[in-house]
Amino acid sequence: MNEVKIIPNIVFKYSYEPGFNVDKFKEHIELHGNKSEYSLSEADGGITTAGNNDNPHFWPSMSPFLTWLRPKIEIALNEWDVAYDSWFISKSWANLHPKGGHTKPHEHGPGSVVISCYVKQPTNGGNLLFESLLRERWIAYSREDKTSNIHDYWREVAVNTNDVLLFPGWVTHKTQANETDEDRIVFTINIGAVIQGQMLQQDDLHIQERSDDTSIPRRK
């Protein structure tokens, strides 16, 4: 093996063979879904339950999946040299994309492991696209004009029902539009990892409420 691993592996892809309860997710989306006109990331009919208190990871039926997932999270954290003694789910939600629906480019903020689970992924339901990391480094090289190669702006990751992708929260990503008449349903989990002894507890924090009288006056 002559390849020198100079950077860690960034994306992991698994398949959760038992699959997910699609009907339960549909009920959840029906109850709590925000349509795209109210969502920053969803578009053209996409619906999300992000920001709702009924986080799917709380459902007792998700326990076997979370148990299956646990070592995979630790593989990612260890691969990324993260110092942690504990990790936690900060939130979870579901997105639904009818025909034409898609998720716009976004990230998941600092310090997180993102888990995207393809609860229902119809054929031609649209794949996941990651922004091409390091693309600008290759500008000096004559490029092959092919989509999704390292010279392109986006890298497509083919996804199937029950696929589970793990990646860091800083990687910008979006989805292709669903081209089928069947809905696509994606369940997403955000994970944080910490060393508990190094974190201040709630009682130790000196929290200041935001005030509105400290802004710098605008120049005329």
Partner 1 sequence: MNEYKFLPTLMWKYNYEPGFDTTEFSKSLDRIGVKGNYEADGGLTTAGMGENIHEWPSLVPFLNWLRPKIEVALNEWQVNWKQYFITKSWVNSHPKGGYTRTHDHGSTHVVVSIYIKQPENGGYVEFENFMRREWISYMRRDEPGNMHDYYSEVPIKTNDVLIFPGWMSHRAQPSKSDNERLVFTLNYFAQ
Using rule CB under 8 A, residue 174 touches partner 1: no
Using rule CB under 8 A, residue 82 touches partner 1: yes
207 DSSP 8-state letter: -
Rounded Cα gap, residues 134 and 218, in angstroms: 38
Q: Are the CB atoms for 48 and 33 separated by under 8 Å?
A: yes
Q: Are the CB atoms for 184 and 126 separated by under 8 Å?
A: yes
Rounded Cα gap, residues 195 and 85, in angstroms: 5
Scanning 16-24, 118-126, 141-149, 201-209 for contacts with partner 1 by CB under 8 A, the matching segment is 141-149
Scanning 8-16, 28-36, 46-54, 118-126 for contacts with partner 1 by CB under 8 A, the matching segment is 8-16
Using rule CB under 8 A, residue 6 touches partner 1: yes
Scanning 33-41, 57-65, 89-97, 143-151 for contacts with partner 1 by CB under 8 A, the matching segment is 143-151
Among 23, 140, 210, 218, binds partner 1 (CB under 8 A): 140
Sheet strands side by side (includes 173-175): 154-157, 128-131, 173-175
Q: Which is nearer to partner 1, 199 or 216 (CB)?
A: 199
Sheet strands side by side (includes 184-194): 34-35, 47-48, 86-97, 184-194, 112-120, 163-168
Q: Footprint of partner 1 on this chain (CB under 8 A)?
A: 2-4, 6-14, 72, 80-84, 109-111, 130, 133-134, 137-138, 140-146, 149-151, 155, 157, 165, 168, 170, 193-195, 198
